[in-house]
Amino acid sequence: MRQTMFTGLLSLSLALALALASSGSLHAAAEKTYQVTGPVLEVTDSVITVEKGKEKWQLARDKETKVTGDLKVGAKVTIEYRMTATTVEVKGAAKADAKAPAAAKTESKIESKTPKK
């Protein structure tokens, strides 16, 4: 009976440790951040536009966005942001397979037009 109870507690502890470890790694992956630095071109309640090199970066903002200092056009800023998928569309493998026979037909047409020596 003691052995069974010990084995059960050990299994439960290992399962809990595994669950915590895997949720921590998923959380860490979601927390990856990036930065962009440059002068502010435009500021609205929902978007900050920054110039980086010759590119214009538009970054969404909301009431949770923390701003330190006076955010205005012309100010040099560093914005920290995260990339989050909003939609994912999986393309079927059937389309890739359908292209293969067409490529083979094209090759055979080229070979048939090549004069024989």
Q: 64-91 burial, b if ≥16 CB within 10 A, otherwise e?
A: eeeeeeeeeeeeebebeeeeeeeeeeee
Query: What's the CATH code, domain 34-81?
Result: 2.30.30
Token readout for 75 is 């100010």
Q: Please give the average per-residue pLDDT across 9-28, as a whole number.
A: 51
Residue-wise pLDDT tens digits, 81-100? 999 899 999 998 765 555 55
Mean pLDDT value across the chain: 76
Residue-wise pLDDT tens digits, 42-59? 999 999 999 999 999 999
pTM above 0.85, yes or no: no
